[in-house]
Structure 1
Amino acid sequence: MLLDTASLYFRAFYGVPDTVRSPDGAPVNAVRGLLDMIAKLVTTYEPTDLVACWDDDWRPQWRVDLIPTYKTHRVAEVVPGGSDVEVVPDPLEAQIPIIREALGLLDLTIVGRADHEADDVIGTLATRARMPVDIVTGDRDLFQLVDDARDVRVIYTARGMSNLDVVTEATVVKKYGVLPSQYADFATMRGDASDGLPGVAGIGEKTAATLLAAHGDLAGILAAAESGDGISASVRAKILAASDYLAVAPTVVAVVTDLDIDPPASRLRALNDVERTAAAEFAERWGLGTSMARAVDALAARA
């Protein structure tokens, strides 16, 4: 099980009331929510291994160099010579170190890579895995990793933790009319305002799916646009007008699958008595109620 960790703790922050606080009044709603998510996910899907994938760089410069609008609307401030700072509510920002400590107390492995997003860590680990993989995320870009032959699927959280969707190849085909292997090209053409990707003007989901069905991939669509074969004049004009965007966008949209990552120690295990005590003391200090205990028990049940 590969967690898109930021996706989950943002969802927890907005899904659990901000009245959930520690004894000293600090907000802990994201911490409690994430621990409850982990307990539910482990209990429901019964993974043997789990990795919390991390955004070491939520807006990599190499992606911005290709498309300057990439995630621009989420930039809180630009640090000269450094990384852009993401818009994160202060009460959530304060909880991120607590989240990392909680994951450490559960002996869950956190993996991130410099200059890359959690998506890229997930893509690399999912591609190299020698076991079935569940990717837990609210980001539909990761649908490009779904692979029935390798038993890679997405547990999609967009409708909330009470309405999780298990995304397989059939799910992607039914909803979008494309195969997961075509999804990155589909997303490139459609665009995504939430990521600052403009897409091809005048090309929506239905047209993008139709083009991919006819020409296979973006390279085939571009070849048809250049030759004028098998493509209408109006669509051809739209594709050609977006040629500069289409030359760089696929690299931005495609999840990296070849990062230099050693196989992480990800096997779930039961905590020993000393570790359980430390987790309980941590939960008491931060006012986490039974959330930490539920996570501890869920992991022990899978060990």
Structure 2
Amino acid sequence: MPPLVIVDGHNLLFRAAFGFPVPIKSRSGVDRTATFGFFSIARKAAVEIGEAEWVVFFDGAQGTSARLAEDATYKAQRVLKDPTIFDAMPDIKAGLDLLQIRWLELETTEADDLISTLVGMEAESGRQIYIMSMDKDFYQLVNQTTVILNTARKREQWIIGHEEILTQYGVLPTQWCDYRALTGDPSDNIQGITGIGPRTAARLLADGMLLEELVDSGRLGGSIEKKVLAGWEKVLQNRHLLRMRMITDPQLSTLTSGTITSWLPAKDILSKLQLWD
């Protein structure tokens, strides 16, 4: 079975739309930066990874609704500076269809949860999985066969695995949500415990300790103990929001087939879609 590359579609879209120094336009002057960038960045990764099957997930329009029902401040700080980038979505999906790359978007589901579900399904067979995203939330899914592919980093740092996370943050991937529950996650507008930064959180969770064990561990003391206990319900709520969820949808079971994806250069994809005119 070839490796599986799972793409966080909107994450790649935002990088493509805002990551190029100059706009990429068609002959008639239509801005094609987002579409061109999406396929150009993906193909560059595909060349490095080699033969693999690719699948793409997109956030549903109401994807955050479940978490917003639990915490109205979830991702409340995010303001889209240029909503016109979504105009590229139909063309990107048409390009994926052209390449016979399967993609999925569910109205009330975040791509994170779809990706987590598929990873769980595929990992049972021991398949090598790459999650293509800049989002650190996916660190919680990393194990011996699942790694993060972040091509926004230096080439030698594209792959983020178990050891890289442990070395940089001092916690295991399985502790990632516990760690972020304490420190907070600004990208999702999740507030942590004041006074607990990355180093303190890593010390409290050293040796694989989970939140459930922390209160009776003897590691808390002084002002830190008071802060943690005072904000304990908030910490548990944070972790609940951060944890990716299993999605039940019959489409997930038919997304992968083991077929190796054949990639065309981005300019050829846009030409075939008649987007260069």
Q: Identify whether the pair has TM-score above 0.5, normalized to the shorter chain.
A: yes
Task: Determine whether 1:239 maps to 2:228.
Answer: yes
8 A contact 1:18–1:27 mirrored in 2: no
* Partner of residue 134, structure 1: 130
Query: Cα 1:223–1:263, aligned 2, differ >3 Å: closer, same or farther?
Result: farther
Query: Cα 1:248–1:74, aligned 2, differ >3 Å: closer, same or farther?
Result: same
* Cα RMSD, aligned residues only: 2.3
Once the two structures are superposed, what CA deviation does each residue of 1:178-237 show, in whole Å capped at 9, x if it has no partner?
00011111111111112100111111111111111167101112444xxxx342121111
**Alpha-carbon distance in 2 for matches of 1:97, 1:263:** 22
Find 2:26's aligned residue among 22, 25, 33: 22
* Partner of residue 81, structure 1: none
8 A contact 1:59–1:70 mirrored in 2: no
* Partner of residue 260, structure 2: 268
Query: Cα 1:214–1:42, aligned 2, differ >3 Å: closer, same or farther?
Result: closer
Matched residue of 2:7: which SS?
strand
8 A contact 1:20–1:28 mirrored in 2: yes
* Partner of residue 165, structure 1: 158
**Alpha-carbon distance in 2 for matches of 1:51, 1:3:** 6
Instruction: Please tell me the residue identity of whatever aligns with 1:133.
Output: I
Query: Cα 1:27–1:163, aligned 2, differ >3 Å: closer, same or farther?
Result: farther
Matched residue of 1:262: which SS?
helix
Find 1:197's aligned residue among 190, 194, 200: 190
Offset of 1:90 from its aligned partner? 3.7
**Alpha-carbon distance in 2 for matches of 1:258, 1:19:** 37
* Partner of residue 16, structure 2: 12
Offset of 1:268 from its aligned partner? 2.8
Instruction: Please tell me the residue identity of whatever aligns with 1:210.
Output: R
* Partner of residue 2, structure 1: 6
Q: What pairs with 1:1-303 in structure 2 (closer than 5 Å)? A: 1-57=5-61, 59-74=63-78, 87=80, 89-129=82-122, 130=125, 131-148=127-144, 151-159=145-153, 162=155, 164-213=157-206, 216-224=209-217, 229-260=218-249, 261-266=252-257, 267-270=259-262, 279=269, 281-283=271-273, 285-287=274-276
Identical columns (%): 26
Instruction: Please tell me the residue identity of whatever aligns with 2:14.
Output: F
8 A contact 1:134–1:152 mirrored in 2: yes
Offset of 1:124 from its aligned partner? 0.9
**Alpha-carbon distance in 2 for matches of 1:57, 1:214:** 40
Once the two structures are superposed, what CA deviation does each residue of 1:219-257 show, in whole Å capped at 9, x if it has no partner?
112444xxxx34212111111121231232211101124
**Alpha-carbon distance in 1 for matches of 2:27, 2:156:** 32
TM-score (ref. length: structure 1): 0.79
**Alpha-carbon distance in 2 for matches of 1:221, 1:256:** 24
Instruction: Please tell me the residue identity of whatever aligns with 2:176.
Output: Y
Matched residue of 1:154: which SS?
strand
Matched residue of 2:56: which SS?
strand
Aligned residues: 263
Matched residue of 1:52: which SS?
strand
Larger Rg: 1
- Structure 1 unmatched runs, 5+: 76-86, 272-277, 289-303
TM-score (ref. length: structure 2): 0.86
Offset of 1:47 from its aligned partner? 4.1
